[in-house]
Amino acid sequence: MFYGLNNVIRKILPKGLFYRSLIIVATPIILLQIIITVVFFDSLWIKANKGMTRSLVGELHTLYDVYANPDLGQKQTIIDLYNKNFDFVVDFKQNENFPKMNKERWFSPIDRTLRRELKSAFGPSTYYFDTTKYKELVELKLKYKNGYIQIFFPKNRISPSSARIFSLWITLPGILLILIAIIFIKNQTKPIVNLARVAEKFGKGEYIKEFKPSGAKEIRLAAYEFDKMRKRITIHLNQRSEMLSGISHDLRTPLTRLKLQLSLLDQKNLAKKMSVDIEEMERMLNEYLEFSRNQKNEETEKVNLCNIIEDVVKKYDNKKIKFSIKNDLDINIRPNSIRRCLVNLIDNGLSYGNKVEISSNFLSKRVFIFIDDDGPGIDENEHQNVMKPFYRIDKSRGQNKSGVGLGLSITNDIIRSHGGSVELEKSPLNGLRVKISLPL
């Protein structure tokens, strides 16, 4: 039972830290206001209302007795005194029908108290009153002989004015305290939100120029440690890339010397075979150097993905490539890296098939790009292996000697650095489908 109730509460409660903190601060204030209001309303306002109403009804009963006593010679004088001293307006309506009481306003404490006192003093069905017809007055009619006595008296005679002032003073400070709490909570949660955004950008491989920790001591400490970790990882990645780039660049010199020496060999068949291997090594080095050059410190930009795909496809000028991409695909990416991914995948599709189709789709704040070909495809057991660097399968898809086994590996590395993923599936064209997922 408690487990199910706990799940319901979790679903109802907000997920954000700001709104949860606001509930923690605002709930006691609201509960305190409700308790104070109930206590005041019950112990002070209602009691004061009852006392004032009972006193008024006593005055009205005295006035009624004046009308009921025919021997009292000073009737008009007493009525004039009531009108003067108690702000009453008294008039006797003779030979007029006594109105029936409208629907009772049970939710109004003023009406309930006045009805109870009038019923106790005059009996049922002998009175009529209306507290809503006039803003500052109450109209009262008491049945008398063949007519009724009409009395107007100020509404403040039965309604304490302190209730409005109390409501104002209990509401405004509460609203002011909640507004102050919102400002303070916003300032406290803002550094956490900034830290989360920077961590998200860093996780996507975006270049972060500067990050300044702020907020409370504990939040600044966490932010400083994250910034140190980010700098260490960045330095490590840069050192690794520079080292591999330097090694790749330095290897080109001995490869060039080997090519010159092979050209001087008399054994042409052997020289030809060795030249093929050297050219393949050069392609590996060139491909890695190009990848490293494009990845280094490339800043993220908000660009239209459709325009990038269209530019890449136009360079091929090939009727075998078809694409249908929505025009509103604005996304934060590193344009040169994404172009490199698309070129690698399109080259693979054209190398192993006769047709390439590119499409896209939106789902759960992510954009999916599908690249399909009609080639022989890749066995499902090899999907993870072909993502490894320099891995080549021995089947029909691996017989192309122009590749070195870095295309899908580089593509996977670039997409993952954007916070996305690359999956291989069976294509509707009976070839290979490469599904790229990127966060919007």
Tell me what the pLDDT averaged over the chain comes to: 79
Residue after which a domain boundary falls, among 101, 129, 163: 163
Task: Return the H-helix or E-strand segment holding 358.
Answer: strand 356-363
pLDDT per residue over 169-188, tens digit each? Answer: 778 888 888 888 888 888 88
Residue whose tokens read 């050209």:
263
Report the 10 Å Cβ neighbour count for 234: 14
Q: Percentage of residues in the chain with pLDDT exceeding 70?
A: 85
Q: Is the pLDDT of residue 292 over 70?
A: no
CB 417 within 8 A of CB 354: no
CB 362 within 8 A of CB 437: no
Write the CATH number for 112. 3.30.450
Decide if 284 is inside a domain: no
Q: What pLDDT sits at residue 395?
A: 46
Residues 218-243, mean pLDDT to the nearest whole number: 83
Q: What pLDDT sits at residue 64?
A: 80
Tell me which residue range forms the domain holding 31: 14-163
Decide if 368 is inside a domain: yes
What is the Cα 147 distance to its own chain's centre? 68
Decide if 133 is inside a domain: yes
Between 331 and 287, residue with greater pLDDT: 331
Report the 10 Å Cβ neighbour count for 312: 20
Banded pLDDT at 89 (limits 50, 70, 90):
confident
Distance CA 364, CA 415 (A): 18
Decide if 376 is inside a domain: yes
Task: Return the H-helix or E-strand segment holding 139.
Answer: strand 137-144
Write the CATH number for 398. 3.30.565.10
Q: Is the pLDDT of residue 398 over 70?
A: no
Residue after which a domain boundary falls, among 113, 131, 163: 163
Domain count of the chain? 2
Q: What pLDDT sits at residue 396?
A: 45
CB 374 within 8 A of CB 427: yes
Q: What pLDDT sits at residue 405?
A: 64
Residue after which a domain boundary falls, among 105, 132, 163: 163
Distance CA 60, CA 88 (A): 10
Decide if 388 is inside a domain: yes
Decide if 202 is inside a domain: no
Decide if 342 is inside a domain: yes
Q: What pLDDT sits at residue 397?
A: 45
pLDDT per residue over 132-161, tens digit each? Answer: 888 888 888 888 888 888 889 888 888 776
Distance CA 249, CA 247 (A): 5
Inter-axis angle of helices 217-263 and 162-203, nearest 10: 20
Decide if 247 is inside a domain: no
pLDDT per residue over 332-389, tens digit each? Answer: 888 888 888 888 888 888 888 888 888 888 877 788 889 998 888 888 888 888 887 7
